[in-house]
Structure formats: structure tokens, C-alpha cells
């Protein structure tokens, strides 16, 4: 078989590009991906193929050197979607939880338990200001996270009111002060591009400008809200504005969307060359496990296996994402985050 072609298909997300050309958008959901065998996302197929290539070359040219192995890099990141429990979040999460819970209608105990959690979420009022938690974890583990921060640019229509975060970094002095303190402690800040900015160059550039001016720092990283990524548009916007993009993961599945566990330059299908910015593949997100998993224990185990396999490759460089609000009592997802990081 053609090793290079197989690697190219995965790394360039050729299937996604072809699907978009036919009018079928992936929307960062594995369920929309044209590939029927979703288990392939469990493996870094590109890395495996190039390990095979390396072995072939070594067998034939034993004098060649491929360099030393590097320690795996796992970027911890936190999308700052909500710093308060808003009406929009109550609407979205309640609707999502009700829809998910109806799958358990044939299991009365599980259904009632889920219903109870939904009712509790509707009426609870916990704080979503969890920056102190992440700073404490950073000091404890000598690990500095990346906060992806949203910037409001214009008056919202209904869709953006419902989908995008609600805070305004320009007018929220407490948030600006908090993020400046995080930067001073060695944390990083990237842009959490609005849903609309993934396909709007002027909007994305303005959001970056606002974030940079608000915090008086360079903004070189981006992750689009809801992981919105349209192959024919989004990378072309990122290419001129950012150095690193960490959007490429799935909303509904942990795994290797591009078949790779290394930092890489994405492929420009139009110009048939690489873009100038880098992708850090997001392989695990908290909501992958807690919102979309059919078997929580199995999903956590699979996430642990993915992080454990990083040590078996020379150039492992990935991102994991736990939302800034996830330690709150509404979610309680932080313990799993801590357990997974012990694996690295």
C-alpha cells in the first residue's frame, strides 16, 4: 500500500475536505464524519505509518540517524465560556441533558437519576469563577495552563446570544485583572473565537485585537468556540493571524481527529502546500467524557490509555481541554482531570 498517501489522507483530513466540497459539513462531530469506522480515531495512524517508514529506512540505510526522542508534551487548556451561570447556559444544558436522558427511558433508575440532576442544575446557583482552582493546580503540579478567552465585538443576534459566551472582557475589570494575574504567574491566554468568527476574517481579527489590547499581551493562539472549523474557510483565517491553533478535536468523541499525536502544520488543499501556523491536536475534552459518553468508566479508561501511549512515540504533542467552570459543583469534573494528568 502507499504509505505516504495513507498518511496524507489522515493528516490533511482529506475526507472532511471532500465532504465539505459536496456540501456536507462535519461541524466537529465524529457522527458527521464520512468515515464509517470511528474506532480509527482511537489510534495515531499517521505516527504509526511514519514509524514504519523509519524502520524501512533504517533497515536499508543503517548509518542514518533520526534524532533523539523528546518528552511528551500535554498542553492543559481551559475554554472560558461562562464565568457566571447565565440564562443561555441554563437553556442549552437543560435542553441537552433532557435529550440525552430520554435515551434512558427504558431504564427507570437511570432515567430518574438523570432527571434529578437536570432539575438540580436548573435551580442551583454555584460560582463559575474557578480561576483560583486552576492557579492552585498549576502551582501544585508545576503546570501552567492556557486560558482561551472570548471577546465580544458587536451587538448580538439571537443565535450568537444563545451560542456564544456572555461576558465582555472590555467592561469586566475583574476578569481583566484575573487574567493579568494569570499571565504574571506563567499561564498563557489565547483567543476563544466566537462561533461566527470561524468564517469571518474581520470579526476574528477584531476579536484578537480586543483581547490583545485588553490584556496588553501578544495573542498567538486560537481555539474556536464549539470547535467550529470549516475546512474551506477557517484555516485561511488562522494562517494570517495566529501561530498555533488547537481547534481540531471532536465535540462528541475523544481521539485523534487527524490521526496524529504530534504538533504539525495543516495542509492547504487549494494551494497544495502547508499553512504557516501549527496545529496542536486536542485529543480529550471534558465534555467528550461526561456529556457524550455512554459508559463513563470506559470513556475515562480510554482517555487514560491515549495519554499513556504518548510515551511510546518520539514527538508527542497534544492538548487536553477542561472548561474553566468544570470544577464547580454543577459539574465536578476536575477530579478526573487530576487523575488523567498523573498518567503523563
Q: CA-CA-CA-CA torsion for 160, 166, 169, 172, nearest 10 degrees?
A: 150
C-beta separation of 155 from 86 below 8 A? no
Task: Kindly indicate the confidence band of residue 343, based on its pLDDT and cuts at 50, 70 and 90.
Answer: confident
CA nearest neighbour of 90 among 128, 141, 139, 50: 128
Q: To 5 degrees, how large is the angle CA 72–CA 131–CA 316?
A: 10
- C-alpha cell read off for 276: 504557516
Q: What is the pLDDT of residue 221?
A: 98
Q: Taking residues 320-324, report their average pLDDT.
A: 98
The beta strands (E) that lie in 100-243 are given as 146-149, 188-191, 221-222
Gyration radius of the chain over CA positions: 21
| Least confident piece of the model among 82-96, 103-117, 123-137, 317-331 | 103-117
Give dist(CA 51, CA 60) in Å, integer: 14
Q: What is the pLDDT of residue 301?
A: 96
| Percent of the chain whose predicted confidence (pLDDT) is above 70 | 100
257 burial (CB, 10 Å; 0-12 / 13-18 / 19+) is buried
What secondary structure letter does DSSP report for 266?
P
Task: Kindly indicate the confidence band of residue 315, based on its pLDDT and cuts at 50, 70 and 90.
Answer: very high
C-beta separation of 318 from 281 below 8 A? yes
Within 13 Å, how many C-alpha atoms sit on residue 104's CB side?
Answer: 16
**Which strand (E) or helix (H) includes residue 319?**
strand 317-321
Q: What is the pLDDT of residue 68?
A: 83
- C-alpha cell read off for 219: 495573542
**Residue 249 vs residue 141, higher pLDDT:** 249
pLDDT beyond 70 at 344: no
Q: Taking residues 33-44, report their average pLDDT.
A: 96
53 in helix, strand or coil?
A: helix
274 in helix, strand or coil?
A: strand
Give dist(CA 41, CA 33) in Å, integer: 11
Secondary structure tally for the chain: helices H, strands E = 13, 10
Name beta bridge partners: 318: 74
Residue 287 phi/psi, 5° resolution?
A: -70, -25
Q: Give Cα separations from 143 to 140, 146, 296 (angstroms).
A: 8, 10, 26
pLDDT beyond 90 at 194: yes
Quickly tell me which residue has 456536507 as its cell.
24
**Which strand (E) or helix (H) includes residue 257?**
none
Amino acid at each position: 500500500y502507499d504509505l505516504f498517501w495513507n498518511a496524507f489522507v489522515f493528516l490533511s483530513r482529506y475526507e472532511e475536505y471532500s465532504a465539505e466540497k459536496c456540501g456536507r459539513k462535519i461541524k466537529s462531530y465524529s457522527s458527521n464524519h464520512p468515515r464509517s469506522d470511528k474506532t480509527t480515531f482511537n489510534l495515531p495512524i499517521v505516527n504509526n505509518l511514519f514509524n514504519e517508514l523509519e524502520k524501512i529506512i533504517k533497515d536499508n540505510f543503517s548509518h542514518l540517524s533520526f534524532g533523539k526522542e523528546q518528552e511528551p508534551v500535554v498542553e492543559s487548556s481551559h475554554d472560558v465560556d461562562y464565568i457566571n451561570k447565565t440564562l443561555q447556559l441554563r437553556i442549552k444544558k437543560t435542553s441537552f441533558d433532557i435529550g440525552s436522558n430520554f435515551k434512558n427511558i427504558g431504564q427507570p433508575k437511570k432515567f430518574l437519576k438523570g432527571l434529578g440532576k437536570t432539575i438540580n442544575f436548573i435551580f442551583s446557583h454555584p460560582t463559575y469563577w474557578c480561576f483560583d482552582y486552576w492557579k492552585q493546580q498549576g502551582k501544585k503540579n508545576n503546570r501552567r495552563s492556557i486560558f482561551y478567552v472570548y471577546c465580544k465585538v458587536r451587538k448580538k443576534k439571537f443565535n450568537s446570544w444563545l451560542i456564544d459566551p456572555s461576558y465582555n472582557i472590555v467592561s469586566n475589570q475583574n476578569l481583566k485583572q484575573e487574567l493579568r494575574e494569570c499571565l504574571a504567574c506563567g499561564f498563557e491566554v489565547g483567543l476563544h473565537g466566537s462561533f461566527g468568527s470561524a468564517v469571518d476574517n474581520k470579526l476574528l481579527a477584531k476579536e484578537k485585537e480586543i483581547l490583545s489590547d485588553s490584556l496588553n499581551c501578544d495573542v498567538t493562539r486560537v481555539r474556536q468556540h464549539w470547535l467550529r472549523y470549516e475546512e474551506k474557510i477557517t484555516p485561511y483565517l488562522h494562517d494570517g493571524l495566529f501561530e498555533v491553533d488547537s481547534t481540531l478535536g471532536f465535540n462528541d468523541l475523544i481521539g485523534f481527529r487527524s490521526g496524529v499525536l504530534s504538533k504539525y502544520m495543516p495542509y492547504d488543499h487549494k494551494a497544495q502546500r502547508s499553512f504557516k501556523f501549527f496545529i496542536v491536536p486536542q485529543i480529550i475534552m471534558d465534555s467528550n467524557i461526561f456529556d457524550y459518553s455512554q459508559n463513563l468508566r470506559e470513556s475515562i479508561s480510554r482517555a487514560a490509555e491515549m495519554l499513556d501511549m504518548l510515551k511510546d512515540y518520539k514527538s508527542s504533542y497534544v492538548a487536553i481541554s477542561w472548561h474553566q467552570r468544570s470544577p464547580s459543583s454543577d459539574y465536578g469534573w476536575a477530579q478526573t482531570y487530576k487523575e488523567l494528568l498523573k498518567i503523563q
